[in-house]
Amino acid sequence: MRIKKEVLERILELCRQAYPNEIGGILLGKDVVRDFILLPGEYYRDSIYMQLHNLPIYPDAVGTFHSHPRGLPVPSQADLGLFAKTGREHLVIGWPYTEENVRAYDSRGRRLPLQVV
């Protein structure tokens, strides 16, 4: 998975601002993630799944991102269900929201190499 550095930095900044709440959204781009859509509204524990499942379709969406305010960037059981339904590349961002705590996964929850470009 490839993502533009400025896009990843913006996402990390939003994660920090939202802490301790979880945030999430949709990643956009074809070969490289070059933009994202932050889901609107307030975020609470586990609410992100419902919102992601109810999203309209974006033609250049590649997958999702969301933060893990309380844990490692490892997908939960609910995350795996989400990944399977919402695209081919997903980011999970663990506290303290630095680049080292960002992990990429495919739609089946397998780790993908993450390249920041």
Chain residues in the site for Zn ion (CB under 5 A)? 76, 79
Pairing mode, strands 61-68 and 89-94: parallel
User: Residue 78 or residue 117: which is nearer to Zn ion going by CB?
Assistant: 78
For residue 66, give the 3-state DSSP assignment.
Answer: strand
Q: Which residue number has the CB closest to Zn ion?
A: 79
Shortest approach of Zn ion to residue 60 CB, angstroms? Answer: 23
Shortest approach of Zn ion to residue 83 CB, angstroms? Answer: 10
Q: Could you give the CA distance from residue 18 to residue 105 in angstroms, rounded to a whole number?
A: 23
Residue 54: partners with Cβ closer than 8 Å, 6 or more residues away: none
Shortest approach of Zn ion to residue 31 CB, angstroms? Answer: 25
User: Residue 79 or residue 89: which is nearer to Zn ion going by CB?
Assistant: 79
